[in-house]
Structures are given as structure tokens and as C-alpha cells.
Amino acid sequence: MDYIRRKQQFNSLQRRWKFIAVCKSVEESVKDLYKAFEGFGKPGLVFQSEKYEIYAFTWDDVFTGFNLRHSFMLDKLKYNRNIIMDELKSANDKRGREAVNELTEMAIAE
């Protein structure tokens, strides 16, 4: 962030910067910063100024956030996967490969 601040070409009035640090674990001092910025309603925020924001997340935070934001899509994919698996189980072995190809074509066409 300090490098960006020092470079004139990165400091237009319209430009805002968000820096995201992702690590295995978060130190207690960073957790204290979470508390200091929790009133902003931005999870993971540890610093904010006029044009700059810094966020700190663990990998678990990243994956959990992804799962929460995309749960509707992940649930639909699981549902479709279960339908396909059930249909393949009901197909006999000889027809199995044909069924896989047919289901793949149908999924691509949607």
C-alpha cells in the first residue's frame, strides 16, 4: 500500500484500492483490528482511509465466504449430480457409457 501511495500514476482522485491478505492464521493484533473496524460492516477490514482498504482473511474465511455466497449454485449442482448418479445407476452396464455421453450432451445444451 505504501508503494502505491508513493507512485503518482496510481493516485488519481477516482481510484480506490483494496488490499487483501490471505494467510493460514490471523494474529491476535489483527483480530483486535477486526473489532476496531466492525462498525463499517465489512468483514475482514483491518484498515481504512479515504482511498485505501486493507482486509485480512484466513484461507478458511475465503472458502467459507465462497460457500455462503454461492450456496444456491452449489446446492443446485449437488442436486443435478444426484439426479445424474441415480440415472446412471439405473442404466445397465452396456448402456452406461451411452447414458453418460447423453447426459453430458444434455448438460452442455442447457
Residues 56/21, Cβ–Cβ less than 8 Å? yes
Locate all alpha helices (DSSP H) within the chain, ordered by sequence.
2-6, 28-37, 59-69, 71-90, 93-109
Residue 19: how many other CB atoms lie within 10 Å: 13
Predicted pLDDT at 103:
77
Three cell numbers written together for 105: 450432451
Q: How many residues does the chain have?
A: 110
Note the pTM of the prediction, 2 decimals: 0.60
* R_g over Cα of the chain: 23
Sorted by where each begins, the domain ranges of the chain are 2-58, 70-109
Q: Which amino acid is at 32?
A: D
Q: pLDDT tens track of the chain, all 110 residues?
A: 989 988 999 988 889 999 999 999 999 999 999 999 988 889 999 999 989 999 999 999 999 988 888 888 877 777 777 777 777 777 656 566 777 778 788 888 86
3-state SS class at 52: strand
